[in-house]
Amino acid sequence: MRYCTRCRRLFDGPECPDCRSLGRTPRAEDWCLLSEEPRVYCDMLRDVLEQNGIPSVFAATQGGLGLFSNVNMELYRLFVPYPRLEEAARLRAELFSASLPEEDADGAPSEGGED
């Protein structure tokens, strides 16, 4: 696993698939690209990360990439520290595998009502 300091992402293989940089060994202080999300998902994800004690930073991109290319929507790149990347990726998968809430899902789900 290598780390590209230009793209701030991890990659396998001999060079960064985005910029052809050779990268270097990742370090604990490196911010690593977790994902690109529309703003609303970015905010949700940051909330979840914060609740789990994972710091994150985000940066706006010029929209319209890949999956969202047909949507006029600005994307945000979300970065987490290298040591927390795996955990953050798992939390993201859990968050987005659940049905996305329509609005703020702050209300605690009722627990133990059904059998």
> Can you give the binding site for Zn ion, defined by CB under 5 A?
4, 6-7, 16, 18-19, 21
Distance between CA atoms of residues 59 and 12, nearest Å? 23
Structure tokens at 46: 């940051």
Assess contact for 33 and 9: CB atoms under 8 A. Answer: yes
Nearer of residues 57 and 71 to Zn ion, judged by Cβ: 57
CB of 83 to Zn ion, least distance (A): 20
Nearer of residues 11 and 41 to Zn ion, judged by Cβ: 11
CB of 5 to Zn ion, least distance (A): 8
CB of 108 to Zn ion, least distance (A): 41
Nearer of residues 6 and 90 to Zn ion, judged by Cβ: 6
Helices 39-51 and 85-97 meet at what angle, rounded to 10?
120
Structure tokens at 51: 């609740």
